[in-house]
Structure 1
Amino acid sequence: MMEKATGSDEVGGTSSLLPLPPIKPNNVQPEKIDLPKYSIVSRPGSGRSGNRIPLLSNHFKVSVNALHSIFYQYTVAIHSEDQNVVEGKGIGRKIMDRLYQTYSSELAGKEFAYDGGKSLYTVGPLPQNKFEFTILLEDSYAKGESGGSHGSGSLVGAGKRSKHYFRSKTFKVEIRYAAKIPLEAIGHALKGQESDNRTQDALRVLDIVLKQKAANSGCLLVRQSFFHDDPKNFIDLGGGVVGLRGFHSSFCTTQAGLSLNTDVSTTMILKPGPVIDFLLFNQNVNDTRHIDWIKGNQKDLNLRHIQLCHYFSHVYKSTLSLQRASLVEKSRQKPRDRMQTLVDAVGNNHHDQEVVLTECGISIDRQLMQVDGRILETPKLKIGNGEYCIPRNGRWNFNNKTLLKPTYIDSWLVVNFSARCDLSYISRELISCGRKKGIHIERPHTLIEEDQQSRRASPFARVDRMFEQMREKLSEPPKFILCVLPERKNSDIYGPWKKKCLCDYGIVTQCISPTRINDQYLTNVLLKINSKLGGINSLLAIEASPHIPLIRDIPTMILGMDVSHGPLGQLDIPSIAAVVGSRCWPLISRYRASVRTQSAKMEMIDALFKPLANGKDDGIIRELLVDFYQSSGGRKPKQIILFRDGVSESQFNQVLNIEVEQIIKAYQNLGEVDVPKFTVIVAQKNHHTKLFQASGNDNVPPGTIVDTKIVHPRTYDFYLCAHAGMMGTSRPAHYHVLIDEIGFNPDDLQNLIHSLSYVYQRSTSAISIVAPVYYAHLAAQQISQFLKLENSSETSSGHKIMTSSGIVAFPELPRLAKEVESSMFFC
């Protein structure tokens, strides 16, 4: 009879783990030492390795001939006739436009940059420090505008056509002097001096000029992206949603000077039209009598933006996912086409006609910036039978080759949740393909088809019933289960199934939904299975030799950290923090994960160190440190290389002084006094810099790196395109080195990061960002499926719990069973 995994007795499942010596007795606190305070390092120099390649980038050089100019900031307060504060950027811009038309002489004819809210900027001062004006509008409404709360890809269009009415047509506007912002602050930053708030303020003013120009031309504004409401820019995505093409433009300081970064941007909006038509279409009914008003939220349909975004996120989750995929597919441009689009956009925007810019002596080049790139050497991989392979164009394969360390599968079965397929055929082909790759797979113990009575039950009930069928046929749990799902993506079965297997029973499982079974498909499946069961598909050749600089001789742990957030605007769904840590040092290809829930939308990970009342630590890092120690021959990490995903420049100091501090505290809690050396690197994919070959025909080659001209003038960053761009235009990863106590030289660090794009065990191609970061994202994504409610009729607010202090918290995630907690279950 199958039995559940019992796990361990102590919190966190660590009672069977060996301690990290020297461990202080439980009643003795570790010696207290001062925690280091970190500051972001300056660039130590540029890399030299690799072959040179001339490139172009979507940065346009900006000349500034009046750095002595000073922006004067004024606070704007707008009130209606009944003294209510007027908010809304659309109406605000309309009022301020009328103000300038009416009172230009009082303002000495000085044009201004207005952010649509509470701030106005001029080059040089206005005649007075305080003004009060009365404005009369004939139509007291304005089109809505996103104030930056939505990112690209958000459903923002519903609010775009909503109207904001006011009872009066008369408004009072008060303008007060607030501060001076010298343009010279940008000049200081360009010279490599440490930038401060004044630099960011000055850049913000320049960006506001771009936003004001776009708003005046009738654009939808989403942060620094601008979208013209023109049918030729629409992409029909189905389901009442359209994609909208536009442009991102923002000023930035670079090593080559001030530049304008311009890129193609897309967003999703609701298709313009009556709400009733929208509901009829999406509910697939022909008459309003058949509309499900509960789903549509009839009583609040006047709040079209809020309710329909909510409607989409709760009722059409899979539809939205498919629509985003469709948007990406239909928005792709080949490198040459994108280059031409960007050059045309900058030329057609006529920035040289903007008075605020010309008063500062600002002119913008209309050609893509030329940059020097390098192509790093492709890492060599070690595979089975003592062979090596060198990837070509970022890819390799296992045709007529075997895996480096294939596993042996002797206790397994296949289950099918009503997918139309032949389980016998699938199992035979998998065994045959595995044999070719070196994996010995015995015949499965059994093949189980879901009984027809279960097919209409809830996902949790279907999973429970499947396990009942398994218990009827097996005397003990298998080591592996191949699970066939009817839907390729967004299956309701997936979350409950993974939770039951990984948490309750400690069974490794692989889900598939095959449309066509061939050798390539089966090989990809086997790569995942082999990794999950402890095998190794390939290693970097340098992992098997003493040639990993500064890592081979000193125990070094690599961390990948990411936080996954719930849908936009929903604060009742927790964020998921995931950290993966390397194991089996000196290898850098093997990882395990630790995952926790935390407050919705919170980006900093708060469970890295989690002290309990008994003095023990139930945090993420303790799990990973103990696992490193046990899997690395009793060695404790003396160096930690940390890759952090998903944070912006404004959060870099928080990473250093909140998250790194927690890691140190977790280390100390284990009785350690000597703090490890840290190298902390932020990996960003969500940016707008693109690289092009000068010819423009093809994407840049895999391994292309740029660490001059378009990089930060002072801090240590670079762009790396490790992967082969097969469709559209490649987006490089943007790496920021925050601290480097380990002391890598630029070439060694850049080559290490490049190599970590080749250790991703799920595929036979280089990936766009280092594998530890990708693994952390996968772990968070998979574990988040555990949060799906058993009763599908409940709302997501069932996740929330209220503490005695009134703080909204979320229940802990179930921990993985001890049999799989150290596995690469996320592969």
Structure 2
Amino acid sequence: FLGEVHRLGVNVRDGFKKYSIDVDHKSVQDQSALESALCTVFTKAKGGDKCDYLIIILPKKDTMLYRAVKRVGDLKVGVANTCVVFNIFTKKLRGSNKFDIGCYSQIAMKINLKLGGSNHRLSAAHSKGLFDAQKVPVFILGADVTHPTNTTSKEESVSIASVVGSEDGIFNKFPGSIRIQSGGQEVISEMKGMVLERLENFYIKVGKLPSKILFYRDGVSEGQYYTVLKDELPQIKAAFVQFGKSKNKPKYSPKLTFLVVVKRHHTRFIPLEENGVDANEKKVAVTSNDNVTPGTTVDRDICSPAFFDFYIQSQQALQGCGIPAHYYVLHDENGYGSDEIQTITYNLCHTFGRATKSIKTVPAAYYADLLCTRGRCYIGGIERERGRQTAIEKAKAKLGSNVATSIKNTMYYI
């Protein structure tokens, strides 16, 4: 493992320090006792032994163990960490005595991201449109809301909302903010506060205020597009005004482009012929699973007559039929043309930090979804807790004072 990590450029100076907890011992069979034991070990590792990163090898897939590790590592102690199941970590390739390097590479990419590194970046040629005239990078935001699926009523449930934001011109790091809100609520009620946090982080890292904003909003159901825009756009604008005033720039008003990302739909693209080419002899289809070429974009005929929308199949499907992402441009102050916003979006799909290929949706939206999933992990189990508190109160008690300050502006959730 160390050899692969070093090969990929992650320098582990002093090797590993080892810690252990007997998770089968009767003293750690409930969640509270387990978290207390983990907190003791994590605090010693971070404070006493000056560890920067913890790799937790779990004996098996166990939801309670995973939740405990993330709550302690992310919320209480504030130390970067990764969980991996023992039989996956020690898996060897079939017919060989060699370990699965692919697993180690994935862990190495996560380590690099969580400690502030970048795994890959767009070339200058593919970064066109991502900087303003003063060479200040476009500020890219992603937002999502996830709702519970196994509760009987909205009153008994909570939703998780998140906003992630870029912090430089590499567009590979997206720290995020997370909030809890009423179950089933589509609109992000604390959008302003989360955008302020992301804008503050961007300003600290870049040293300048962005003049262009690209906002990719995930988690909106069909029919709610303009409802979400009507309620969230004023919050986003208010965040800009408040932040500008705090920096003695009361007239600060960057240009905002707001898009909704739709991942779940029934549209699929299938090439009419294998290795097909267009009139310019450009390849438009590949033989792999009879899918269209990654980057295929459709913005007419099957698109809405009422919206500025388009489909992009940005990934090469490894199995079955690839699913294109559907983008709706609901608000555009930057005046992007169709080709420009489509090219920017497609290029960004190659920057996802823990993948070596392009992905299905723009990373900002994907990161926001991952952060919501991590938030669900933090509050997991509240439906089984008894008491007179409401679901919101129990969830907020679980989240505490939110993610620890030492890691809140990192990719801890990746």
Q: Which TM class, normalised by the smaller chain length?
A: 0.7 to 0.9
| 2-structure distance, mates of 1:797, 1:541 | 56
| 1-structure distance, mates of 2:395, 2:119 | 41
Q: Contact (CA 8 Å) 1:574, 1:810: kept in 2 or not? A: no
State the shift of 1:800 in Å. Answer: 2.5
Q: Is 1:666 paired with 2:257? A: no
| 2-structure distance, mates of 1:453, 1:628 | 45
Q: Report the CA distance shift for 1:762/1:450 in structure 2 as closer, same or farther (over 3 A).
A: same
| Number of the residue aligned with 2:256 | 678
**Residue in structure 2 matching 1:598, options 176, 181, 198:** 181
State the shift of 1:665 in Å. Answer: 1.1
| Number of the residue aligned with 1:824 | 411
| Amino acid paired to 2:119 | N
| Number of the residue aligned with 2:164 | 580
Q: Contact (CA 8 Å) 1:596, 1:812: kept in 2 or not? A: no
* Structure 2 spans left out of the alignment, 5+ residues: 92-98, 275-288
Q: Is 1:464 paired with 2:36? A: yes
Aligned pairs for 1:355-394 within 5 A:
none
Q: Deviations over 1:509-551 (max 9, x none)?
A: 01111421421110011111110000111101138x8733554
Q: Contact (CA 8 Å) 1:557, 1:640: kept in 2 or not? A: yes
Aligned pairs for 1:475-494 within 5 A:
475-488=48-61, 491-494=63-66
| 1-structure distance, mates of 2:105, 2:396 | 39
Normalized per residue, the structure richer in helix is: 2
CA RMSD of aligned residues (A): 2.6
| Number of the residue aligned with 1:505 | 77
Q: Is 1:453 paired with 2:25? A: yes
Q: In structure 1, the residue corresponding to 2:148 is in which secondary structure?
A: coil
Normalized per residue, the structure richer in strand is: 1
| Amino acid paired to 1:565 | H
Q: Report the CA distance shift for 1:472/1:532 in structure 2 as closer, same or farther (over 3 A).
A: closer
Aligned pairs for 1:415-430 within 5 A:
429=1
Q: Report the CA distance shift for 1:602/1:529 in structure 2 as closer, same or farther (over 3 A).
A: same
Q: Report the CA distance shift for 1:724/1:534 in structure 2 as closer, same or farther (over 3 A).
A: same
Q: Which has the larger radius of gyration?
A: 1
Q: In structure 1, the residue corresponding to 2:214 is in which secondary structure?
A: strand
Identical positions, percent? 28
State the shift of 1:455 in Å. Answer: 7.3
| Number of the residue aligned with 1:175 | none
Q: Is 1:709 paired with 2:292? A: no
Q: TM-score, normalised by structure 1?
A: 0.43
| Amino acid paired to 1:601 | G
Q: Contact (CA 8 Å) 2:128, 2:344: kept in 1 or not? A: no
Q: Contact (CA 8 Å) 2:131, 2:137: kept in 1 or not? A: no
| Number of the residue aligned with 1:527 | 109
Q: Contact (CA 8 Å) 1:799, 1:810: kept in 2 or not? A: no
Q: Contact (CA 8 Å) 1:577, 1:597: kept in 2 or not? A: yes
| Number of the residue aligned with 2:95 | none
| Number of the residue aligned with 1:418 | none
Q: Deviations over 1:705-738 (max 9, x none)?
A: 1111111124211111101112122211111111
Q: TM-score, normalised by structure 2?
A: 0.84
| Amino acid paired to 1:687 | H
Q: In structure 1, the residue corresponding to 2:63 is in which secondary structure?
A: coil
Residues paired across the two proteins, number: 379
Q: Deviations over 1:408-445 (max 9, x none)?
A: xxxxxxxxxxxxxxxxxxxxx2x111111121113445
Q: Report the CA distance shift for 1:734/1:798 in structure 2 as closer, same or farther (over 3 A).
A: same
| 2-structure distance, mates of 1:748, 1:472 | 51
**Residue in structure 2 matching 1:442, options 7, 10, 13:** 13
Aligned pairs for 1:709-728 within 5 A:
709-728=301-320
| 2-structure distance, mates of 1:776, 1:482 | 23
Q: Contact (CA 8 Å) 1:460, 1:493: kept in 2 or not? A: no
Q: In structure 1, the residue corresponding to 2:270 is in which secondary structure?
A: strand
Q: Is 1:785 paired with 2:377? A: yes
Q: Report the CA distance shift for 1:810/1:449 in structure 2 as closer, same or farther (over 3 A).
A: closer
Q: Is 1:800 paired with 2:386? A: no
Q: Is 1:813 paired with 2:405? A: no
| Number of the residue aligned with 1:631 | 205
Q: Report the CA distance shift for 1:472/1:674 in structure 2 as closer, same or farther (over 3 A).
A: closer
| Number of the residue aligned with 1:537 | 119
Q: Is 1:432 paired with 2:17? A: no
**Residue in structure 1 matching 2:100, options 497, 518, 539:** 518
Q: Contact (CA 8 Å) 1:801, 1:810: kept in 2 or not? A: yes
State the shift of 1:763 in Å. Answer: 1.4
Q: Deviations over 1:89-136 (max 9, x none)?
A: xxxxxxxxxxxxxxxxxxxxxxxxxxxxxxxxxxxxxxxxxxxxxxxx
| Amino acid paired to 1:661 | P
Aligned pairs for 1:544-583 within 5 A:
547-548=128-129, 551=132, 553-568=135-150, 569-571=152-154, 572-583=156-167
Q: In structure 1, the residue corresponding to 2:290 is in which secondary structure?
A: coil
Q: Is 1:739 paired with 2:317? A: no
| Number of the residue aligned with 1:645 | 218
| 2-structure distance, mates of 1:549, 1:510 | 32
| Number of the residue aligned with 2:280 | none
| 2-structure distance, mates of 1:454, 1:591 | 40
Q: Contact (CA 8 Å) 1:557, 1:639: kept in 2 or not? A: yes
| Number of the residue aligned with 1:57 | none
Q: Deviations over 1:605-647 (max 9, x none)?
A: 00012xxxxxxxxx111111111110112x1122211101121
| 2-structure distance, mates of 1:816, 1:642 | 23
| Amino acid paired to 1:750 | Q
State the shift of 1:556 in Å. Answer: 2.2
State the shift of 1:809 in Å. Answer: 9.4
Q: Is 1:687 paired with 2:265? A: yes
State the shift of 1:461 in Å. Answer: 1.6
State the shift of 1:603 in Å. Answer: 0.8
| 1-structure distance, mates of 2:14, 2:387 | 42
| 2-structure distance, mates of 1:796, 1:529 | 39
Q: Report the CA distance shift for 1:809/1:495 in structure 2 as closer, same or farther (over 3 A).
A: closer
| 1-structure distance, mates of 2:76, 2:41 | 16
